[in-house]
Amino acid sequence: MAIKSFQGSRKQQNTSDVTQLKVKDYMSTKLITFRPDQTVQEVVEALIKHKISGGPVVNERQELVGIISEGDCLKQLSESRYYNMPLKHDNVELRMAKGVETIDGNMDVFDAANKFLNSKRRRFPIVENGKLVGQISQKDILIAALELKGENWNSATKKGN
């Protein structure tokens, strides 16, 4: 039997030298946040002004209580037209998604990428000690991947590279 392809002996990687690219290194910390008592109209104006598709909702102690998105606002807009009710009569607390899934800031960005793919979400908040500290988006993950372009995923995460 002939050998068709021989790559030679493979060098064992030293896993103790490997560091992770962490979510906290790529998350956004200067966030546009909303309050539960704000009107949906205020949210729509902020989304358009800041060119964002949604944002976290926090209480007065900066604790995450929900997320509001363009989709939530569109749903309210559609219902307000159907029931002939102006936007000003509805608030964020009634429209936001509650029980929001978060990501740990120490999570590897590639694990976070998989979490995005499996959940179909566009953003995940990061909470530490009960307080909102940042948010990671799919775009942030792409930025992290671009910084490694042309590199081997494993060798690019080693210390000193």
pLDDT in tens, 21-44: 899 999 999 999 999 999 998 999
Give the side-chain half-sphere CA count within 13 A for 54: 23
Residues of the domain holding 70? 20-149
| CA 25 to centroid of chain Cα atoms | 13
Q: Which two tokens stand for residue 104?
A: 């740990």
Q: Which two tokens stand for residue 145?
A: 């991947």
Asked if residues 47 and 54 have their Cβ atoms less than 8 Å apart, the reply is yes
**Would 28 be classed as within a structural domain?**
yes
Asked if residues 125 and 67 have their Cβ atoms less than 8 Å apart, the reply is yes
**Would 9 be classed as within a structural domain?**
no
Please state the domain count of the chain: 1
pLDDT in tens, 78-102: 776 655 666 566 789 999 999 899 9
Residue whose C-alpha is closest to residue 154's, from 18, 12, 10: 18
User: In terms of C-beta distances under 8 Å and separation of at least 24 residues, what long-range contacts does 5-8 make, across chains too?
Assistant: none
Residue 96: CATH number of its domain: 3.10.580.10
**Would 37 be classed as within a structural domain?**
yes
- Its pTM surpasses 0.75: no
Asked if residues 56 and 33 have their Cβ atoms less than 8 Å apart, the reply is yes
